[in-house]
Structure 1
Amino acid sequence: MEASGLAPEEVVLRLLDVIEKDIVPITTEAVKKGNKVFGAAILKLSDLSLVVAGTNTEIECPLWHGEVACIKNFWNLPEEGRPLPSECLMLATHEPCSMCVSAITWSAFKEIHFLFSMEDSRDAFNIPHDLRIYQEVFKCERATRENKFWKAYDLPKVVETLPENGALGEKVTMLRETYASLSELYQDSKGGASSTRIPLS
């Protein structure tokens, strides 16, 4: 984790707070319309201030995954005052799929943090497409989590390595419960008018 001047515990707490306070609210509204539960945010590495957040809006376009929508919002910011990608990190609620990780790579973000793995997306959220696309299209299990372009951090696993992690573990559990409720709402919407606008629902 490259955020300067902050202890790992402070970094993780800030990222979990952004998920709770900045991503969950917009994702909740999007899920009510029939979109998936995936969201993202871009933060400055220097102080972890929020630059922009985004959420899945696949009913508008199947390419608008949470990370891609967030990146679109980022590049739509006025150039004056917009930080460089190298000065930022990408926070994703779910480990980025092949399309999103390509968008992150092409945008030159160097650091990715996520709350749920692709296995979680498959098993807990009943959305198996991420792993299936890697396996069927790219003939590999997944993207590496560290390469010459970026490094990815699994936040719950980071929490497990931290001393005195009880409060952080409780926050992870709370967010898991929040997303379980959002997932139930999304799954219940399948078969409705909005879901017919998502090719891979």
Structure 2
Amino acid sequence: MKDKFKQLFMFIGIISLVISTIGLGKNSASAENIDEGSFLTDEQIQTMNEALEVMIQEANKKLAQGDEDFVISREVEGLDAPVTLEFATDSVMETAKPRAARAASSTKKYQAKVGYAGSGFDFGHKLYGQFTYSGGKLKGATKNVELSGWAYEKSHDTPPIDKLDPSVWEVKSTGTFKALKYLKEYKTYLVVRLLGSGDYRITKAKVTN
């Protein structure tokens, strides 16, 4: 089985993840240059998600230990290149506030993206925003969603932020991508957990068909 150029990618929070698998072929925006073989197979999606689940656990352990900038790579059977996660962090400067107010309340950005970039039938689901925290509690958070993929009818279900308790909130989003001509559908799932400590974790990032 020949793999086309395939890439599963995700950006988390200011944490940024990139999950990529590279095979043969070139991206094309022309429908004449693509075929149904450009779609991810069930086996490829399952393999990627299994690897991703293990890597997310490892990444969250590093984040809990205070690591901020690191790369995790894993060789996966059936894929031509390793699955790789890259992390970087940042915070929002609040220069408009007095120094005392900035010390009492801080703001960070988060961004999570999952999708597929292949020969024509690419799609992406991005969940992003920022959250404010103080004294171990969350004070506020925003959420935004962007869906991409020219070949699909796109929709998303992004409910209100789930406030599990004053110091733990979860942002959830489900994307749906329908390629009606080919009777093909993908669903993407993202869950980001915001913490009153000013940290955040990825608790779910998955693609299904």
Tell me, yes or no, whether TM beats 0.5.
no
Structure whose residues are more often helix by fraction: 1
Structure whose residues are more often strand by fraction: 2
Scaled by the length of structure 1, the TM-score of the pair is: 0.31
Scaled by the length of structure 2, the TM-score of the pair is: 0.30
